[in-house]
Structure 1
Amino acid sequence: MPSDMDNDQKSGGVAAVERAFAILNAFRATDTSLTLNEIALRTGMYKSTILRLIASLVHEHCIVRLDDGSYQLGSMLLHWGGLYQAALRLDDHVPPMLRRLVQETEEGASFFTREGNLRVCLFRVDSPRSVRDHIRTGDLLPLDRGAAGRVLQAFDRMLVPPDEFPRQPYIFTVGEREPDIAAIAAPVFGPQRSLRGALAISGPSVRFAPELLPAMTNALLKAASDLTRRLGGDATPFERWEREGGATPR
């Protein structure tokens, strides 16, 4: 059985790690560097504690001390990011998210990527209902018809400047690809705001009634936001929409 001293050391070690992460998390996308005072204000820690931890972070190349005394994030974070991206596989993350969406909405859920002037269904989980939208993994569908296709066009920074993206982080369509079929789709982003794909739920339009759309849209946006984070992307567009109390589709 570990002694009290062992427990104290472990507790202290965990606390030190958490404080080190707090220092790293103090940096934001718009920061080129931070002063010791700015880090103290953002973390709420004493400067003496920060300096002690930063010494270890500098040694491990997680933080760099500049000539003017301020601090930047170090190259080790880029190295870790590269390892993460190399190990990242869509099939580890997308299917569980689709299953969650189907469970929450009882509609079919799909994940599409662009392939030339078409879109391909990479992953699909069917609705448990007997009357449903019939899409299969590997299906090639029009890019200019249907919610997922429109998302792949509207949120691709290679086609549209990010400041011209639609204000709402989803697109709702009825009867564009097939009569009486409705769909809601949202973008899924990766690093550097790259578009990894479109997450969509679809089914008979009668089940996408106005009173049901808010819950369905919220479930989709939550899934798209979670998947974006898992793939190393920035979920800010979804968080901003939620803060602003965004309207649901009509």
Structure 2
Amino acid sequence: MGVSEIAAQIGMPKSGAHRLLQGLVAEHYVSRRSAGTYSVSIKLWELGSAALFGFDLRRKADGVMEALMENTGETVHLSVLDGYQVVYVHKVENAHPVRSYSQIAGRVPAHCVATGKAMIAFKTSGWLDHAVQQLVAATPRTITRPAAFLAEMQKIRSCGYAVNRGEWRTGVNGIAAPIFDGTGAVIAAIGLSGAHDTLNEQRLGELSEQVRQTAQDLSDDLGKSAPHASLLGVINRWGALV
């Protein structure tokens, strides 16, 4: 389609439509052809596919999250990674949730919470080397020493789950495990959070296998319909929207 036709379709002056198209071309959402016409790019298809997958992720996770909450009595989170931040995409609260801790589409530093650590532990060594230069303490228990944090990542990769011991909010603990797609890439994490009084060190250990198995079940289910690895960056970038 040409600029004039596009302007007429969207009810915008031709000059405004041209500026809009230039912005979309710059972001690679639209391609300009030699004849002066424009067409949508593969990037829009990727974004749409990522959004559809995000809805599928929540739909498939909802039942197991409800079951995990009922079995453990703790609030359950489903998170994705966006850069160095966790985005909460779904949550099933228990009868007495920890208030002001998380909200859907809320963001927190990934290195401070269990779902975040469960995901970034499987990043490349280069990614982690850069990440450890940006560790900021949220509480006195946040791991900020690069060597200690990298050791924590190795431990998570070995045991298959991550623990947050008051590293984001004092008195709030968590445990989470990564969710993998059919390519073996980490695309999300599922975890529990609760007050230290109930989710103490002993109970974290007792619940670790249940959390890990829940993540494994979701990984097996999503592996049948997960997007190609090329879409993972789109999912991560637009995690708050999907």
TM-score by length of 2: 0.54
Following the alignment from structure 1 to structure 2, what is the Cα–Cα distance between the partners of residues 184 and 133? 18
Match status 1:225 vs 2:216: yes
Higher mean C-alpha displacement, 134-143 vs 102-111: 134-143
Sequence identity, in percent? 22
Which residue does the alignment assign to 1:178? 169
**Inter-CA distance 230–133: structure 2 relative to 1 (3 Å threshold):** farther
CA contact (8 A) 1:133 1:181 kept: no
Which residue does the alignment assign to 1:102? 69
Which residue does the alignment assign to 2:186? 195
Following the alignment from structure 1 to structure 2, what is the Cα–Cα distance between the partners of residues 178 and 135? 11
Structure with greater Cα Rg: 1
Following the alignment from structure 2 to structure 1, what is the Cα–Cα distance between the partners of residues 123 and 183? 12
Following the alignment from structure 1 to structure 2, what is the Cα–Cα distance between the partners of residues 130 and 228? 26
SS at match of 1:149: helix
**C-alpha displacement at 1:131, in angstroms?**
5.1
SS at match of 1:185: strand
Match status 1:116 vs 2:80: no
**Inter-CA distance 199–148: structure 2 relative to 1 (3 Å threshold):** same
Match status 1:208 vs 2:199: yes
The amino acid that maps onto 2:222 is: L
**Inter-CA distance 87–114: structure 2 relative to 1 (3 Å threshold):** closer
**C-alpha displacement at 1:91, in angstroms?**
2.2
Answer 1 or 2: higher relative contact order, Cα 8 Å, separation at least 6: 2
**C-alpha displacement at 1:101, in angstroms?**
1.0
The amino acid that maps onto 1:142 is: P
Residues 34-53 of structure 1: matches in 2 within 5 Å? none
Following the alignment from structure 2 to structure 1, what is the Cα–Cα distance between the partners of residues 124 and 169? 28
CA contact (8 A) 1:170 1:186 kept: yes
Q: Which runs of 5+ in 2 are unaligned?
A: 1-49, 129-153, 225-242
Following the alignment from structure 1 to structure 2, what is the Cα–Cα distance between the partners of residues 86 and 189? 17
Which residue does the alignment assign to 1:129? 96
CA contact (8 A) 1:151 1:170 kept: yes
The amino acid that maps onto 1:198 is: A
CA contact (8 A) 1:186 1:220 kept: yes
CA contact (8 A) 2:119 2:189 kept: yes
Following the alignment from structure 1 to structure 2, what is the Cα–Cα distance between the partners of residues 220 and 170? 8
Following the alignment from structure 1 to structure 2, what is the Cα–Cα distance between the partners of residues 126 and 213? 18
Q: CA RMSD in A?
A: 2.6
CA contact (8 A) 1:107 1:132 kept: no
SS at match of 2:179: strand
CA contact (8 A) 1:186 1:199 kept: yes
CA contact (8 A) 2:175 2:204 kept: no
**Inter-CA distance 87–118: structure 2 relative to 1 (3 Å threshold):** closer
Deviations 1:75-126 (A, max 9, x none): xxxxxxxxxx998621221111211110111111001111122110011111
Following the alignment from structure 1 to structure 2, what is the Cα–Cα distance between the partners of residues 114 and 222? 21
**Inter-CA distance 208–230: structure 2 relative to 1 (3 Å threshold):** same
Following the alignment from structure 1 to structure 2, what is the Cα–Cα distance between the partners of residues 232 and 189? 7
**Inter-CA distance 157–178: structure 2 relative to 1 (3 Å threshold):** same
Q: Which runs of 5+ in 1 are unaligned?
A: 1-84, 234-250
**Inter-CA distance 111–223: structure 2 relative to 1 (3 Å threshold):** same
